[in-house]
Chains A and B, each alone.
Chain A
Amino acid sequence: MSHHKKGHQNTQDHEKENIEVWEDLVHIKDLLLALLICSVTTLSGYFIAPSEPPKPLFFGLFGALIGFLITSIIIQPKRTFNGTKEEK
Chain B
Amino acid sequence: MDITLLLQMVGIAMLAAIIYTIIGVAPGTDETATIAPVILVLVLSGLEPILVLTFFMSAIVSSKLTDSIPVALAGIPGGVMATPQVEHALILKKHGLTDVTIRKMASGSVIGTLVSVPVSLLFAHALIPFADVIKEYGSSLFFAGAIILALISKNRWVALVSILPFALLIEGLRHLYWDTGVVPAGTNVFISFFLGITIGPMIVTLFGLLNKEKRDRLERFGKKDIYFKQEKIDGIKANPFTILTKKEIGFSSLSSAIGSIAFILSPVGLTTFLGEVFTSRIKDPVKKASLAIASMDALANATYISGVLIPLIALGIPLSPTAMGPGNPLFNAPPVFTIDHNLHHILSNGDFISATLVGAIVALAITYFLTIKYSRQICIFVFKRIPHEAMLGLFFSLVLLLAFMDGGWMNVAGVFLVGFVAGTLHRTGVNYGVQFMTLYSAPWIISLLANL
Contacts and interface: CB of A to CB of B under 8 A. Distances in A.
B118 interface: no
Given A17-B220, A43-B404, A72 B387 contact: yes
B405 interface: yes
Interface stretch (B41-49, B160-168, B245-253, B288-296): B41-49
A32 B38 CA distance: 23
Contacts of A67: 393-394, 397
A57 B41 contact: yes
A61 to B, nearest CB: 6
Contact of A35 (B229, B388, B396): B396
Among B389, B390, B404, the one with the most A-chain Cβ atoms within 10 Å of its Cβ is: B389
A72 B383 contact: no
Contacts of B218: 19
B228 A41 contact: no
Contacts of A63: 397
A41 B397 contact: yes
Interface string A63-88: 11101100110011111111111110
Given A57-B44, A57-B45, A77-B383, A26 B388 contact: yes
Contacts of A30: 387, 389
A75 B390 contact: yes
A81 B112 CA distance: 32
B228 A83 contact: yes
Contacts of A75: 387, 389-390
B219 A77 contact: no
Contacts of B212: 4, 7
Interface string A7-26: 10000001111111111111
Contacts of A86: 380, 384
Contacts of B385: 72, 77
A1 B210 contact: yes
Interface string B25-53: 00110100000000001001110000000
B394 A38 contact: yes
Interface string B212-223: 100100111111
B202 interface: yes
B27 A39 contact: no
Nearest to B220: A16
B386 interface: yes
Given A67-B394, A77-B387, A87-B380, A61 B227 contact: no
Interface in A24-72: 24-28, 30-31, 33-35, 37-39, 41-43, 46, 53-54, 56-58, 60-61, 63-65, 67-68, 71-72
Nearest to B389: A34
B400 interface: yes
Among A15, A63, A81, the one with the most B-chain Cβ atoms within 10 Å of its Cβ is: A81
B284 interface: no
A31 B389 contact: yes
Contact of A43 (B201, B202, B400): B400
16 contacts: A19-B221, A21-B388, A22-B28, A22-B201, A24-B224, A41-B397, A43-B397, A46-B401, A58-B45, A63-B397, A67-B394, A71-B390, A72-B387, A78-B221, A83-B227, A84-B230
Interface of B: 27-28, 30, 41, 44-46, 77, 201-202, 205-206, 209-210, 212, 215, 218-230, 376-377, 380, 383-394, 396-398, 400-401, 404-405
